[in-house]
Amino acid sequence: MTVVVEDPLIASMSIARVLPIHESSRRLRELYRECPRVYGVAVMGDLSRRRWWPLAEILTTDRLQQMFDAGIAETESRAAVAQQLAATFAHVVVGRVTPLLALEGRAWDTGLENLWVHVDSEGAIDWVGVVDPTLRALPDDPYVAECRASGGGGQRGIVALPSEAALTTWIAHRSHRALGPLFTKLAAVSDGAMSVAAMWHIVGGAVVNAATQVPLLANASEVVSMRRGQAVLDAFVGFGLPVRGVSRMSSTKVLIN
C-alpha cells in the first residue's frame, strides 16, 4: 500500500503563478509519493530560504570542507566520503534533471548559479531548488504550442530548443560547467582521495540510473528514455569528459555509460 506523505517544505510553498516547472515537478513527485523530494525541484521564489543555500557557495566558502569533515567523523575512509559527495553533486546537478528529460523532453537550467540546495538538521543535502524556473523543451512540447498560439514565449516559463540533440547538448553543457569546478574543489578538499575522472564516471552512472529506472516507475517508453540519456552521455563525451565506463544493465535493456 502506497503511503502518501505530506512533506512540510512542499506544503509550505506559496506559488503565486503556476508555471510549467511546477506542473512537471508535481508529476515527478508523484513517481515516488512516499518520498516526494526524490524527484523534481522547488522554485526558490515560492518558499522561505531557511536551510537553503546557493550551490555556488561550495566554491567560495568552507562548506565543502565541513561536509567532508562530517563524513570523516562517521567513517575514516577519505575515498568513501569523496565518493559519497561526488555522487551527491552528480545527483543534484544532472541526476535530478534526467528524469524530466526522459519523461517529458524538458529540462531546467542546471547551471551552478541557478541551483540552490536544502540541507537537513545534520547538514546533508536533501532537496534542490532553482532560481530561474524557465524550462527548455522540445519544439513539439504541448505547452510550447500553446504559448505560440497565444503569442507568448519564455516569459511563460518555457522556451523551445530546435531539437532533441540541442536539448541534450544544452543539459550536458550546463551540467559540465556546474560539476567541473565542484569536482575540482572536492579533489582538493579530499587531498586526491578520488580522481576527478572517477567523479565523472559517477555522473555517467547517475544518468544511466535515471534513464533506466524512471520509465519503469512512470510506465513510459524505455526506448525514448534510453535514447535521451544516451544523447546526454554522448554530449558529455563530446566535451572530453570520461563519463563512460562499464556497461550497466537493467533487466532487459542496456545503456552504455
What domains lie within the chain, and their CATH numbers? Answer: 51-255 (1.10.510)
Report the distance separating Cα 190 and Cα 69, nearest Å: 9
The cell numbers describing 232, all together, are 546526454
**3-state secondary structure at position 198:** helix
Retrieve residue 115's grid coordinates: 541551483
Backbone CA torsion sign across 194, 196, 197, 198: positive
Angle at 229 between CA 223 and CA 231, to 5 degrees: 100
Give the pLDDT confidence score for residue 249 in this predicted structure: 32
Measure the CA dihedral 90/104/167/212, to 10°. 50
Query: What's the pLDDT at 253?
Result: 37
Decide: pTM greater than 0.85. yes
Residue 5 pLDDT: 60
Task: Please say whether the beta carbons of 188 and 65 come within 8 A.
Answer: no
Long-range contacts of 35-39 (CB under 8 A, 24+ apart): 35/5, 36/5, 36/7, 36/10, 37/7, 37/9, 37/10, 37/126, 37/127, 39/96, 39/99, 39/214
Helix (H) or strand (E) holding 160: strand 158-160
Q: What pLDDT was estimated at residue 49?
A: 85
Q: Give the separation between CA 85 and CA 45, rounded to whole angstroms.
A: 27
Q: Which residues pair with 53 in a beta bridge?
A: 117
pLDDT at residue 257, as a whole number: 38
Q: Which residues of the chain, if any, have pLDDT below 50?
A: 1, 153-154, 246-257
Other Cβ atoms closer than 10 A to 124: 14
